[in-house]
Amino acid sequence: MSAETKQRPPTHSTDTALQREPALTIFQRGAPGRRAFQCPELDVPDVPLQDLLPVHLRRSEPPRLPEVSEPEIVRHYVRLSKRNFDLDSGFYPLGSCTMKHNPRLHERVAALPGHARLHPLQDPERAQGALELMWNLERALSEVSGLPHVCLQPSAGSHGELAGVLLTRAYHEARGETRHKVLTPDTAHGTNPATVTMAGFEVVKIATNPDGGVDLDDLRVKADTDVACLMLTNPNTLGLFDSNIQEIARIVHEVGATLYYDGANLNAVMGLSRPGDMGFDIVHFNLHKSFTQPHGGGGPGSGPIAVSDRIEPFLPVPRIVRNEGSNDDGPRFDLVEDWPGAKSIGRLRGFQGNYGCFVRSYAYIRSLGAPGLKDASETAVLNANYLLARLRQLGVSEHLPLAYGELCLHEFVLSGGPMKRNLKIKTLDLAKRLLDYGYHPPTVYFPLLVEEALMVEPTETETKETLDSFAEALAELLHEAAEDPEIAQNAPYTTPVRRLDEVGAAKHPVIRQSL
Amino acid sequence: MSAETKQRPPTHSTDTALQREPALTIFQRGAPGRRAFQCPELDVPDVPLQDLLPVHLRRSEPPRLPEVSEPEIVRHYVRLSKRNFDLDSGFYPLGSCTMKHNPRLHERVAALPGHARLHPLQDPERAQGALELMWNLERALSEVSGLPHVCLQPSAGSHGELAGVLLTRAYHEARGETRHKVLTPDTAHGTNPATVTMAGFEVVKIATNPDGGVDLDDLRVKADTDVACLMLTNPNTLGLFDSNIQEIARIVHEVGATLYYDGANLNAVMGLSRPGDMGFDIVHFNLHKSFTQPHGGGGPGSGPIAVSDRIEPFLPVPRIVRNEGSNDDGPRFDLVEDWPGAKSIGRLRGFQGNYGCFVRSYAYIRSLGAPGLKDASETAVLNANYLLARLRQLGVSEHLPLAYGELCLHEFVLSGGPMKRNLKIKTLDLAKRLLDYGYHPPTVYFPLLVEEALMVEPTETETKETLDSFAEALAELLHEAAEDPEIAQNAPYTTPVRRLDEVGAAKHPVIRQSL
Amino acid sequence: MLAAIGVSSVQEIFDRQIPREVRLDRPLDLPDGQSEQDVYEHLRALAARNVSAEDELCFLGAGMYDHYVPAIVDMLMERSEFLTPYTPYQPEISQGGLQVMFEYQTAICELTALPVSNASVYEGPSAVASAGYLAKLHNNRSRFVVSAGLHPHTLATLRTYAHGYGIEVVEVPLSGGVTDPEAWAEAIDENTSAAIFAQPNFYGAVEDAAALSAAAKAAGGEQLVTIAQVDPIALGVLAPPGECGVDVAVGEGQSLGNRLDFGGPSFGFFAARESYLRRMPGRIAGETTDVDGRRGFVLTLQTREQHIRREKATSNICTSQALNALAGVVYLSWLGRQGFVELGELLLRRTNYARETLCSLDGVAALHSQPVVREFAVRLDADVAAVRRRCAAAGVNPGADLHALTGRDEDRGGLLVAITERRSRADIDQLVEVLGQAVAAERRGGESGRRVEVGASA
Amino acid sequence: MLAAIGVSSVQEIFDRQIPREVRLDRPLDLPDGQSEQDVYEHLRALAARNVSAEDELCFLGAGMYDHYVPAIVDMLMERSEFLTPYTPYQPEISQGGLQVMFEYQTAICELTALPVSNASVYEGPSAVASAGYLAKLHNNRSRFVVSAGLHPHTLATLRTYAHGYGIEVVEVPLSGGVTDPEAWAEAIDENTSAAIFAQPNFYGAVEDAAALSAAAKAAGGEQLVTIAQVDPIALGVLAPPGECGVDVAVGEGQSLGNRLDFGGPSFGFFAARESYLRRMPGRIAGETTDVDGRRGFVLTLQTREQHIRREKATSNICTSQALNALAGVVYLSWLGRQGFVELGELLLRRTNYARETLCSLDGVAALHSQPVVREFAVRLDADVAAVRRRCAAAGVNPGADLHALTGRDEDRGGLLVAITERRSRADIDQLVEVLGQAVAAERRGGESGRRVEVGASA
Ligand SMILES: Cc1ncc(COP(=O)(O)O)c(C=O)c1O
Ligand SMILES: Cc1ncc(COP(=O)(O)O)c(C=O)c1O
């Protein structure tokens, strides 16, 4: 039933140790003069500070940082960590986020001083290992996406999107065109339209057809020569593959626009189907999703992009090049700001991108290899469809029907509409009650076009046992709600804090510790 | 009140998530064929096994080890870890165990491949860093103990004790004497008498005087020429320094016996008083106490010994020697099995001892230095006396008086006798109820001569705030007991499991998972 | 499992959803999978072909610095509970991460003396570009006036972004190592959306932040947004931007407990005056209470964000740098109130010692005489690339080649030298010796680097 | 705080308790304290002066082996909840550690096919000495008969302990690489407390454990205790001691997920037949239930232990190797049921490949022809020390010098070569090449090792 037990979790506030523990910040601990840091000795002349820095440029008061000992810091943050739910502790079927297991080997290799203490401005000839790693990763991502050119620089998915749309702008401008519109389906993730605006374009929404795909008629109407790009996720945020993808590509290309692939859902199709083969011009990857860079509670991430030949001239700088070395002494790698035909959009950030993430995702790709990546996607899709089937068997879909389609790929979206009407609990209530059952809830209220959406992505690294208990927990939760909807309406009961006043928080923002 | 809050913890079983989680072992998880390990490829000829190993020597059935994936292993043990209380999460005043903070720097340096992947049989000339570290540690321990010769080999305190008593045997035998008795005070830790027996001697108990020290008259009576050694802890397990130590040494040496120092309480006197100066011949250290090697839930530890000149010839092998190198190329270190005058007792274990612990404790000594070590002991003693004073102020000592003396050194022992009589709760009940308050209880029922003993050692790395809240928690707990002793008698309520049936466990031992 | 689904094979699931024509009919052209130990050996071999700050005496800085990262930072970052969760969408089970954000925001506000901070952005240069976007949303003006003292990566990134959201970027030159005050006032007018400078600037020089801000407001009016890219470590000794009339202070957080990692991941910090709160990019953690009155934390002011506001969002950022920001606040707690200042003062003194001793060498001159805190620029009377090669052969990386980074003619011969607390006086003296010999050898007209090596190993 | 205590200074607290004469009236003669970064640099410099298995191709074994330790082992050992608690004296808040012990005991029982295991002892050799003490307590006889095939450190440790508890140790020689069956039967009689051998023995040879046990019981009667020191990794392919008539199986656990650490900490395992349960040394975790009926674990059968039984305890052990035993059970779970056997078979094949190819060299001969699993002994027709030096110069540590370890004349020229899964065929081939050239050079009468290096780098 609940994550590890067969009993129902409590239906009252249990006043656990974590609930009783007041949330004191590190600034509320310690005492004046206490410290952890011992400053290295002053081994140079003790010149008076004012001789080095005029007083008017000087800081007058030390910042009120904590005054705490190392044991206090460790205890504070170790205790704090226990107030987090995490992937290593339980099932985390957060749709669209691909919460797959993060192998610890990746942390070990990323921590090797040769990677971790390498300065980003080290001369390329003395950073050959890093550049070769990046080159190999570029080649692997190119092969997975089916697009020839890769840039690893973007810091996350939405940064990759920005790169992609700016590339589209540069592409059109190079052809002497100024286009103003970018199309996004109403299933699109919020970063898509936000990116479009940031890149100076206007968002035009495309409707979704009854099968959950792009409404071709609406697309045909809106796809005119003022359209710079269509941004698509495929499989889309409904977990469905748009089988009209080739026709879509035709329409978009016909008006001279580019086709952008939001790669957040790549985990469904690695080694099985490639955006490049579908007709996409630009792809972004989320290394922190499909390629298991740990998510860190909100980053770091990494959002490399892959592009077709016609987009390549505009890629951000610097780029990695591989020079065939003179016979025996292997290839040499370099970073360049210019190349034949280059019309780069410039930089998106400092240095070469989130190398630490590259190391982890490259280790992942080397561990799995070609068969392993394909197997990962197949298992991810198998797990999603199995869980969906289990929910049907257990009658859950009576209250939470699949929003679109019959099968799904790596994730699926249920509609809580019937549940809301029949059982009087909202998807939010269901999510909060799931916390008591020991699970991280699926993504809720996204995509927007699904009423009371519940978006479930189990990933390939979960076991059948886990999927079964999760399905049973959902079923049990609905029985519970049928008996007494208030249980879910007032949930959670067992978490370190219970439902929080988000409205109040936004009305009178308190965003730092008062000191 | 309780560790982090000002409220009383619950007085009923709260049915927390951890309590609901059934204790499944790793053997009860997974599924046939599942695995984490990918075997490196067979790159040598695939010779039939029976050609290499006759069938009658072969294993017929694979052991029934778990069949689990890496994600399952990680989740299993991460969840399991949450069922432990630990020093990084809370106050751990376990008397006689010196639960001081374990700086994380020590884990970092111990993990350096040059230390962690060094083979114990590496040629000394290619392990100079390790041997120099061990040499430096020997010198530092010699200086702290005030005894000239050190051997790092023993694996823990009791192993050091065994070394010490065997050294005593060898010392007497070398003088053509066979002695049969070893004296231990009734305050001694259990490992002392157990060691005596294992080393082939007979234990003779020495009484404790009203001040908590050795009863000199009893000692004089029992100290005859059949006595090989007196084993003493100073400060002793009552946290008291035996001010007669010089007279004790005189008596013991007069009959030709050796004086052994159980160093478990060294944290009280580092840089302040030295066993060697008190007249001890042999000392053992607990690196996992005074020198902060993390305790690991029951080891690893390390129990080096320091000895006087007359004991030196008998030290275990191998020993580290330092040879002054030819002028510029510094000193050279070596391991030897023989040296001038050597009559070694031989080996106590394989290789050179728990080097990984040496690295940590050496890093600790380098971090603190001479002033830091002294400061550590002074603060440990200050904290213990402050906590004792706070308990007096809060009236706790009315029910839990100090067993002996007025002040204490690094720890103190209270007697729960009055509490048991006045409030009807035993020291055990108090300890169990403390669990609900979020603390690890002090050591209970040791030393044996104190009725309902409660042995408290706060250590130097705890803050005044922590000591204050602990004192308040104890006071509150006694008020609670005064109102209703059953609360403590039935405690704990909030722990992952509640009181366990230890008698049943011993009567029908189940010591492995049935498969 | 297949039976439950009602298919005969996993293939069937795909066949029924993905058209044949767009299916990949061959295996990916990638190496096979490897065992854990083989992958470890491969990644270790790659690492061995990098010369890291562990392998040489490194004076490289120019945006990222080889500070000592205390062991507790690694230990805490590696805890599953911090390493593996997603963004805290369910606050009830994410109080750990949310409180860390709240603490981090507090620390950044203290450092910058500004009242509001978000929970991190990607990194330094893009933080400036995001600050520019904030300015555009705020006053909808058409031009950014930027100091040439900004990091070249910042200038490049800002141009890339600004071209997207349609803002012109005008660069103001330096004079005497700092932003030219006249040119600065000149360039700014009522069409100027933001005036942007770096503190200290790319050449290590401390700018008169208060004067630059005041001049900008005077010329551009109150609606103009003053933006400073600040080095957080320098704030141990420098007047905080909040006290210098700066509206938005952003910067690279790597120095605060994050590894070099060949450039990332680290974090960017973003602090501002109250009035910009609702235009901030990224996550912001806020304090609130739960139904039982317990103190708790949530992601707040989300109406700024893409998942709510979509095309009207103040930024497109979603995944940010939470784990790196955790490292930042743990590091700052480790340094502590006094330690943070002590560190700044140590760097100030060591850096000035290094500049003095280096500039006493023949063929080495200060590129400017402005105050410096932790980094400084010198001009070599020799080919910088050749000199750097000689130093490298002696195990010393003397710093960054200025011209290679800025491409500015006036930077030819320029070397940017950074000092951290890991570089002792002895290390600095070794740099002086090795660099001195390298420059001398080059000026003698470049015979072999052998003498340099001998010198170094002495 | 002083006020509360009622003293004027900390000094006073000491003055009132410790007599002047035994107070230290000077500072300790030790270096001053250092900052974290300085201590790190110092320890790193020391590490850099060790040639570890990361730095050379290492074929050393002889009791400890360079196996790959999976990353999850480090990650779990470093978790505060496992790293920092004391021995689980309060079971209600120590279920994690106690269950780990229970799982560990289960795994050891499976490996050894014996019904009971404790929660770990210090390490291998002292585990044998403790097993000997168990035998003494069990039958109170006067002599141990031990095979010369035991590790020399085991023999030495056993002698040290046995001298203490007063038992004579008689050594039985090997013949043809394994314990001489006649001499073995000869040596054992009704005064023999225990008959002790190693599987595989120190020379890598697989003993006929069943025959040795049967012979021992036949000669010494049922009261005699048969003790085997077994290599746990070899049990992937070898018949487990429990199926060979062994009463007590002990051994060194380092191979199971523990680092080399220059010899420790690791753990010793200790498994036995049911009848010895109440004479086992060390901690034992047992299953039970709590007052509400939940499954739980406790330290059980504590009446064996020193803190209860004091001078009557079955052992003096207190702190043991809990964290290392955790590494052991995590490692075994990672290998898994099939993987454990696959690993054993891989080692068996690679080891035999190595022995064959090495023995095909001129001047290299097998020291015995018995079956070997993961280690084997050869005799060099050259000075072993000199050959090892040459190999070292070529980046290869070819294995241990047998004579240096045993001091036995018949071991002169002996080299003990260990193979782990980290030593690929290519590595073995490199060993063969380097060793071959070293032996050749020495037999030619020792000119410089240069040719060896060339060979190696080819
Ligand atoms: C479909 C989709 N697109 C884009 C993104 C944005 O990716 P990132 O968070 O890495 O910026 C996400 C992440 O939630 C996503 O799910
Ligand atoms: C006073 C005393 N002596 C000896 C020991 C035994 O030390 P170890 O556990 O390291 O064997 C202890 C540990 O509890 C102790 O407290």
Give per-residue pLDDT as tens, B73-114.
999 999 999 999 999 999 999 999 999 999 999 999 999 999
The distance of A440 to chain D (nearest Cα, Å) reads 22
Identity of the residue in D36, D72, D80 whose CB atom sits nearest the CB atom of A104: D72
Query: Pseudo-torsion of CA A78, A79, A84, A89, nearest 10°?
Result: 70
pLDDT at A329: 78
Residue C283: strand, helix, or coil: coil
From the CA of B99, the nearest ligand is 2
Contact yes or no for D68 and C422 at CB 8 A: no
Contact B17 A89 (CB under 8 A): no
Taking one residue from A and the other from B, the number of pairs with CB-CB distance under 8 angstroms is: 98
| Nearest-angstrom CA–CA distance, C275 and D393 | 69
Q: pLDDT-derived band of residue D452, with 50, 70 and 90 as boundaries? A: very low
Q: What is the mean pLDDT of residues B403-414?
A: 97
> For position A10, what pLDDT does the model report?
78
Residue in A39, A103, A104 nearest the CB of D35: A39
Q: How much helix, strand and coil, in percent to the nearest 5, is found in chain D?
A: 45, 15, 35
Tell me the pLDDT band of A101, cut-offs 50, 70 and 90. very high
Cα of first residue to Cα of last residue in chain B, in angstroms, is 45
CA distance A368 to A379: 13
Within 13 Å and on the Cβ side, how many CA atoms surround D175?
A: 6
Q: Is the Cα dihedral A333, A339, A340, A341 positive or negative? A: positive
CB atoms within 10 A of CB C429: 15
Kindly give the distance from the C-alpha atom of residue A284 to the centroid of ligand 1, in angstroms, as a whole number. 10
pLDDT at B3: 63
**Is the pLDDT confidence value at D237 over 70?**
yes
Burial level of D446, CB count in 10 A (0-12/13-18/19+)?
middle
D453 versus D298: which is more confidently predicted?
Answer: D298
A195 lies within 8 A of chain C by CB: yes
- CA dist., res. D380 & res. D388, Å (int): 11
How far is residue A8's CA from residue A11's CA, in Å, rounded to a whole number? 8
Q: Are strands C168-172 and D268-272 parallel, antiparallel or unpaired?
A: unpaired
CA distance D218 to chain B (A): 20
In this structure, what DSSP letter does residue D84 have? S
| Predicted local confidence at residue D449, as pLDDT | 42
**B345 pLDDT tier (thresholds 50, 70, 90):** very high
Q: Classify residue B329 as exposed, middle or buried by CB count within 10 Å of its CB (0-12, 13-18, 19+).
A: exposed
User: How many residues are there in chain B?
Assistant: 515
Beta bridge partners of D144: D169, D194
Q: What gap in Å lies between CA C303 and CA A329, rounded to an integer?
A: 56
Instruction: Report the gap between the CA of C332 and the closest CA in chain A (Å).
Output: 7
Nearest one of B425, D310, A87, A195 to C80, comparing CA atoms: A87
Which of A251, D93, C70 shows the shortest CA–CA distance to D85?
D93
All residues at 6 or more sequence positions from A477 whose CB lies less than 8 Å from its CB, including other chains: A430, A433, A434, A437, A488
Query: Which residue, by CA, sits nearest to atom 5 of ligand 1?
Result: A157
Give me the torsion for CA of A426, A431, A435, A436, rounded to 10°.
30
Q: What is the pLDDT of residues D278-288, one digit of tens each?
A: 999 999 999 99
Backbone torsion region of residue B15, taken as left when φ is above 0, otherwise alpha when ψ lies between -120 and 50, otherwise beta: left
For residue C88, which of C101, C76, C78 has the smallest C-alpha distance? C101
For residues A284, C159, A299, C300, the Cα torsion angle rounded to the nearest 10 degrees is: -120
C436 phi and psi angles, rounded to 5 deg = -55, -45
pLDDT at residue D454, as a whole number? 35
Contact D290 B498 (CB under 8 A): yes
pLDDT value for B1: 52
Determine the distance separating the centroid of ligand 1 and the alpha carbon of A466, expressed in angstroms: 26
pLDDT digits (tens, 9 = 90+) for D19-33: 999 999 999 999 999
pLDDT at residue C446 greater than cutoff 70: no
Q: Which residues contact C343 (CB under 8 A, 6 or more apart)?
A: A37, A39, C233, C236, C335, C421
Run of H or E including A247: helix A245-254
Ligand 2, residue B159: give the atom nearest the CA.
Answer: 11
Contacts of B40 in chain C (CB under 8 A): 35, 37-38
Helix or strand or coil: residue D269? strand
Cβ distance C262 to A115 less than 8 Å, yes or no, reads yes
Please give the full DSSP string across D161-195, using - where no structure is assigned.
HHHHHT-EEEEEPEETTEE-HHHHHHH--TTEEEE
Note which residues in 206-235 of chain B have CB less than 8 A from chain D: none
Query: Is the minimum CB–CB distance between A8 and chain B shorter than 8 Å?
Result: no
The most distant pair of C-alpha atoms in chain B lies apart, rounded to whole Å, by 79
Q: Which two tokens stand for residue C397?
A: 């990386």
Going from the C-alpha of B208 to that of each of B68, C266, D218, the distances in angstroms are 56, 62, 52
Separation CA A353–CA A355 (nearest Å): 6
Q: Is the pLDDT of residue C454 over 60?
A: no
Place of tokens 């190329």: B329
Interface contact C75-D78, CB threshold 8 A: yes
Q: Are D375 and D358 in contact (CB under 8 A)?
A: no
Rounded to whole angstroms, the Cα distance separating C83 from A84 reads: 10
Chain D positions in Cβ-Cβ contact with residue C71 (cut-off 8 Å): 36
Listed in order, strand segments (DSSP E) in C150-199 are 168-172, 174-175, 178-179, 192-199
Judged by its nearest atom, the ligand closest to the C-alpha of residue A263 is 1
List of residues 6+ apart from D280 with CB closer than 8 A:
D116, D118, D134, D270, D272, D301, D304, D314
Ligand 2, from B97, B158, B196, B354: best to mutate by most atoms within 8 Å of Cβ? B158
Q: What is the DSSP string of B349-418?
A: SSTT--HHHHHHHHHHHHHHHHHHHHHHHHHHHHHHHHHHHHHHHTTHHHHS-BSS-SS-SS-EEEE-HH
- For residues C126 and C142, give the distance between their C-alpha atoms in angstroms, rounded to a whole number: 19
Which chain B residues have a beta carbon less than 8 Å from that of A22? 4-5
Pocket test for ligand 1, best of A96, A191, A455 (most atoms within 8 A of CB): A191
Q: Whose CA is nearest to atom 8 of ligand 1?
A: A157
Which 8-state DSSP code applies to residue A182?
A: E
What are the respective helix, strand and coil percentages of chain B, to the nearest 5? 40, 10, 50
Q: Is A113 on the interface with D (CB under 8 A)?
A: no
Q: Where does ligand 1 bind, in terms of residues with CB under 6 Å?
A: A 96-97, 156-158, 189, 191, 233, 237, 262, 264, 286, 301, 303; C 318-319
Name the pLDDT band for A6 (thresholds 50, 70, 90): low
Over 90: is that where the pLDDT of C82 sits? yes
Share of residues in chain B with pLDDT > 90 (%): 94
pLDDT tens figures, D124-165: 999 999 999 999 999 999 999 999 999 999 999 999 999 999
Residues in chain A: 515
Q: Residue D457: what pLDDT?
A: 35
B104 CB neighbours in chain A (<8 A) are 70, 74
A69 three-class SS: coil
Paired with B202 in beta bridges are B181
Q: In the structure, what pLDDT confidence band is assigned to residue A46 with cuts at 50, 70 and 90?
A: very high
For β-strands D364-366 and D375-380, DSSP reports them as: antiparallel
Q: Which residue, A412, A148, A407, is CA-closest to A274? A: A148
- Residue D75 has its nearest CB partner, among A41, A74, A104, at A104
Q: What is the band of B4 on the pLDDT scale with cuts at 50, 70, 90?
A: low
Token pair of A407, please? 């099968």
pLDDT tens-digit profile of B107-136?
999 999 999 999 999 999 999 999 999 999
Q: How far is the CA of D32 from the centre of ligand 2 (A)?
A: 29
B155:D50 CB<8 A: no
Token pair listed for D91: 């079971």
pLDDT, one tens digit per residue, over A347-388 is 999 999 999 999 999 999 999 999 999 999 999 999 999 999
Are C423 and C364 in contact by the 8 Å Cβ rule? The answer is no
Our answer on whether the CB atom of B286 is closer than 6 Å to any ligand 2 atom is yes
Mean pLDDT (chain D) is: 96
Q: Identify which of C36, C68, C75 has the shortest CB distance to residue D36.
A: C68
**CB of D342 less than 8 A from some CB of C:** no
**Does the CB atom of residue B304 touch ligand 2 within 6 A?**
no
How far, in whole angstroms, is CA B414 from its chain's centroid? 21
The protein residue with its alpha carbon nearest to ligand 1, atom 12, reads: A264
Place of tokens 């235009």: C279
Average pLDDT over chain B, rounded to whole? 96
Ligand 1 atom with the smallest distance to the CA of A233 is 1
CB atoms C93 and A382 under 8 Å: no
Q: Is B328 left (phi over 0), alpha (psi -120 to 50) or beta?
A: alpha
Question: pLDDT tier at D450 (50, 70, 90 boundaries)?
Answer: very low
Partnered with residue C287 across adjacent β-strands are C297
Is the whole model's pTM more than 0.90, yes or no? yes
